[in-house]
Amino acid sequence: MNQSGSHVPVKGTQQVAVIDSNGKNTTIESVTLKDISKYVKDDIGFSYQGYFRSGWATGNHGSPETYAAGSLGRFGNETSGWFDLTLNQRVYNQDGKTATAVVTYDGNVGEQYNDAWFGDSDNENIMQFSDIFLTTRGFLPFAPDADFWVGKHKLPQYEIQMLDWKTLTADVAAGVGIENWLLGPGMLDVSLSRDDVDVYSRNFEHTTQMNTNSIDLRYRNIPLWKDGTLSLMAKYSSPNKTDQQKDNENNDSYFEMKDSWMLTS
């Protein structure tokens, strides 16, 4: 507010004086409001990122209809509102150690009716939590700069975003892992995860929930030449069968589930 009593717009480039005193020497530094805003944001430790699509559409013979919501190509060929949002909140930051809670939720919002509740199978609204985990840094003495996490999370997937085509991904219900572990010339990512599957009976009339556990190893960013790197990846998955499930396979009443592995680069 100026001397006349009218409000003056505040700009991020405006500067304020900050006094720093350690008991002996006093210094005065000039910082911008933008710097202060960034400091407050970093101090709070909250951030978010993501994607959503929304809009209006019509057709020349009635309303347009969404095709295959949530499937391949959903980023461009639908008339509904898709969202994929991640929330990050730092919960600990002391002595070089940090811990951050991460939640990612994604889904589809129908844009045909005003009332459309999630969980109603008669509309297009769907939602899931694809990530709920705690990630830390600085807690591992042998890898202080690596990220150690636990919860519903998986190692990064590789995809062609224009086509929403995932060349390498994984289905994970919960797990524990280390990422960005500097080891030798490259970086190591490793995770141990769980994802149960439904195994069908031979007549397809019944299913049994079978626990499976997987280990995922990735050694990446191995330098080859200028701007050229190599990544090596391996995954092994094994079912954890109950005695009843073993009997079901032995008497051939259910399909057999075997160990599996994959190598790629």
pLDDT in tens, 145-193: 999 999 999 998 887 766 667 777 888 999 999 999 999 999 999 999 9
Q: pLDDT (tens digit, 9 = 90+) per residue, 244-256?
A: 999 999 999 999 9
pLDDT at residue 63, as a whole number:
78
Mean pLDDT of 215-239: 94
pTM of the model: 0.80
Cα(217)–Cα(168) distance, integer angstroms: 13
Residue 134, token pair as written in the block:
């705690």
Average pLDDT, the chain: 85
pLDDT at residue 54, as a whole number:
82
Cα(177)–Cα(223) distance, integer angstroms: 24
pLDDT at residue 82, as a whole number:
81
Cα(255)–Cα(206) distance, integer angstroms: 11
* More confident: 112 or 219: 219
pLDDT at residue 261, as a whole number:
94
pLDDT at residue 2, as a whole number:
52
Cα(135)–Cα(164) distance, integer angstroms: 26
pLDDT > 90 in the chain, percent: 52
Contact between 156 and 101 under an 8 Å Cβ cutoff? The reply is no
Q: Is the pLDDT of residue 208 over 70?
A: yes
Contact between 218 and 233 under an 8 Å Cβ cutoff? The reply is yes
From the list 143, 145, 193, the residue with the least C-alpha distance to 173 is: 193
